[in-house]
Amino acid sequence: MGIYLNNAATSWPKPAEVAEAMSKFLLQGGANLARGANSERDLETLNFVLDCRFKLAEFFNGYEDQDPRYITFCANITEALNIVLRGYSDYIAQRRKAVPGMKVLTSSMEHNAVMRPLRFLEQHGVILKVLPCEPDGFLKPEVLERELKFNKYDLMVMSHASNVSGTVQDIERIAEICKLNKLNLVLDTAQTAGVLKLDVKKLNLAALCFTGHKGLMGPQGTGGVVWRPDFAAQVTPIISGGTGSFSHLEYQPEDLPDKFESGTPNLPGIAGLNAALTWLNKVGIDNIKNREHELGEYFLNKIKNFKNLKLSGKQDMTGRLAVFSINFDNYDNGVLADELSRLGFETRPGLHCSPSAHKTLNTFPAGSLRVSLGYFNNFNEIDKFIEALNKILGADN
């Protein structure tokens, strides 16, 4: 077994309880959600899905006393962001009955899960403004403040932390500015959910989008939205169909969670995510954050010795995650990743689905070698990685 240093792509390994819960559902449960009678198996499914909603509402401190109805399950954060952005844009377009419709702000550090839906909407009449970030990936809150002095927007969407450089944004200050300007803030928490504490109410988020398979330690194919009720009421569902409820209606129900959850959900995935949340609550998010911080400090200390290495983003662990983008002079990051994988180290080279972020960090088009640490990594693995780099690069680095 190799050494896994690609946790920003998906966390690995998962807690054993995740696979156990999924296997139990498939082997012993297996009933669909709200599409049976009240058999024991039907109720089991209903129970763990509801339990998972409750846990997510508590985990993110959801609205209306952590009401589980304001949690929507999706296949991943990409789907969650599309549901929010396309659905809200449709609402604005209907209300204004005109093009251009929605006016939206984002940052230059976004993943394509944000950029591509926005560029698609822009091609259909939405006005998009991309706020420039600093060369270390940080969005200065003053840049947003200044923009809002002269222009009015309907929505701001941005990531809490970069999947390329690990740069963490000052989301508290940004949320304050958005609230003051009555601007809906939608947060991409792909890299931070399960690693940093998130509180939707405190940040007054219109929607928090999450993916289940990274820091939340769940299986692939899970994710969702935590909604602010007034915002959810405005968003048009972009997918409609059977919900196992209101079966007399040929129109999509307005009630949550049904409004945004048509079709059979990923029940084995939700069973796994539910078990992952139990594990996260047991370990404690502060312990996870501290562990990743201490691993990050150790990694940074070790890579200082390479004279030809360039690290993107923040140069110490203040304001960053243990997600590191590095480059060596005169060594292609793709070739390096290949050589590392031959020695048993899993990393990710290239552009990480984030061309705009790499442009901001001055690593476009070559990209970088991304090393992303997780809770289950250890110091010994970092030592071995450094040894491997020395072996590949030779004494001159």
Whether the CB-CB separation of 164 and 368 falls below 8 Å is answered with yes
Least distance between ligand PLP and beta carbon 162 (Å): 7
Q: How many CB atoms lie within 10 A of CB 45?
A: 23
Spatial CB neighbours of 119, under 8 Å, sequence gap ≥ 6? 128
- Phi, psi (deg, nearest 5) at residue 48: -75, -30
Least distance between ligand PLP and beta carbon 255 (Å): 26
Least distance between ligand PLP and beta carbon 120 (Å): 16
The nearer residue to ligand PLP, 133 or 389, going by C-beta atoms, is 133
The nearer residue to ligand PLP, 29 or 166, going by C-beta atoms, is 166
The nearer residue to ligand PLP, 112 or 181, going by C-beta atoms, is 112
Q: How many CB atoms lie within 10 A of CB 380?
A: 9
Closest-by-Cβ residue to ligand PLP is 163
Least distance between ligand PLP and beta carbon 387 (Å): 28
Q: Sheet containing 323-328: give its strands across.
A: 309-311, 323-328, 368-372, 348-350
Residue numbers of the site for ligand PLP (CB under 6 A)? 76-78, 111, 113, 159, 163, 188, 190-191, 211, 223
The nearer residue to ligand PLP, 69 or 320, going by C-beta atoms, is 320
Least distance between ligand PLP and beta carbon 254 (Å): 27
Give SS3 for 59: helix
Spatial CB neighbours of 319, under 8 Å, sequence gap ≥ 6? 138, 167, 168
The nearer residue to ligand PLP, 93 or 157, going by C-beta atoms, is 157
Least distance between ligand PLP and beta carbon 37 (Å): 35
Least distance between ligand PLP and beta carbon 195 (Å): 12
The nearer residue to ligand PLP, 101 or 117, going by C-beta atoms, is 117
Whether the CB-CB separation of 130 and 161 falls below 8 Å is answered with no
Distance of alpha carbon 171 from the chain centroid: 14
92-111 exposure pattern, b = at least 16 Cβ within 10 A, e = fewer: bbeeeeeeebbbbbbbbbbb
How far apart, in whole angstroms, are the C-alpha atoms of residue 22 and residue 39? 20
- Phi, psi (deg, nearest 5) at residue 297: -55, -45
The nearer residue to ligand PLP, 66 or 360, going by C-beta atoms, is 360
